[in-house]
Structure 1
Amino acid sequence: MPSILKDLWNRFAGGGGSASREEPAAEAIEYKGFRIRPAPYSSKGGYQTAGIIEKDAETGLKEHRFVRAETHPSKDDAAAFAITKGKQIIDEQGDRIFG
């Protein structure tokens, strides 16, 4: 697995290395029955767009993690863009993101 993909996987799978020092995901916002939790992380002098989409279901909490190629100069900019991307994913895919 290429190094960048391995690093991304480790960040979301809770692996060791620098990922364990990352801050937890930000406060979630509600959108159409889902919760979007921005989770930007430091990457090559900027912040990578990443987040978690959650939804409560009868079977328990469902979760979809996403990472996008965009980087931003500040963590706040990356978090704001993660919310925008999360809304777009929900609008395009709805509950299909969990299956």
Structure 2
Amino acid sequence: MGILSGLKGLFSGGDTAPEQQKEDAQEYKGFEIVPAPIKEGSQFRVAAIISKGEGEDRKEHNFIRSDLIPGRDECIEITVRKTKLFIDQLGDNLFH
């Protein structure tokens, strides 16, 4: 795969889009954290969905970091730790 086709896959959502599996939600300070590590080759990228609220008032933030972790379980642990820190730092401002 060439560089251009790889970039095209990232932006088009085509067959080359990374594989992402969601885990069970965790509650933290009124926020819901759903770890969703992205498989990239033999590693996993730190990623999650952070949400708050119900119905029409529900807000979501896609949390994706550059960290690549060799093990899926370790990636989930690091993702939860980083999302909690992110929530502690920004609170509701993470949705702006």
Pair in the same fold by TM > 0.5: yes
Tell me the TM-score normalized by structure 2. Answer: 0.79
Distance, in Å, in 1 between the alignment partners of 2:27 and 2:72 is 20
Q: Which has the larger radius of gyration?
A: 2
Q: Structure 1 segments of 4 or more deviating over 3 A?
A: 2-6
Distance, in Å, in 1 between the alignment partners of 2:22 and 2:55 is 24
The 5 A counterparts of 1:19-98 are 19=17, 22-57=19-54, 59-98=56-95
Instruction: Tell me if the contact between 2:9 and 2:16 (Cα under 8 Å) persists in the aligned partners.
Output: no
Return the offset for 1:59: 3.5
Question: The residue matched to 2:53 in structure 1 has which SS?
Answer: strand
Structure 1: unaligned runs, 5 residues or longer: none
Instruction: Tell me if the contact between 1:47 and 1:72 (Cα under 8 Å) persists in the aligned partners.
Output: yes
Q: RMSD value over aligned CA atoms? A: 2.5
Q: Percent identity?
A: 35
Structure 2: unaligned runs, 5 residues or longer: none
Distance, in Å, in 2 between the alignment partners of 1:32 and 1:43 is 31
Instruction: Tell me if the contact between 1:48 and 1:78 (Cα under 8 Å) persists in the aligned partners.
Output: yes
Q: 1:5/1:74 Cα in 2 relative to 1: closer, same or farther (>3 Å)?
A: farther
Tell me the TM-score normalized by structure 1. Answer: 0.77
Distance, in Å, in 2 between the alignment partners of 1:27 and 1:74 is 18
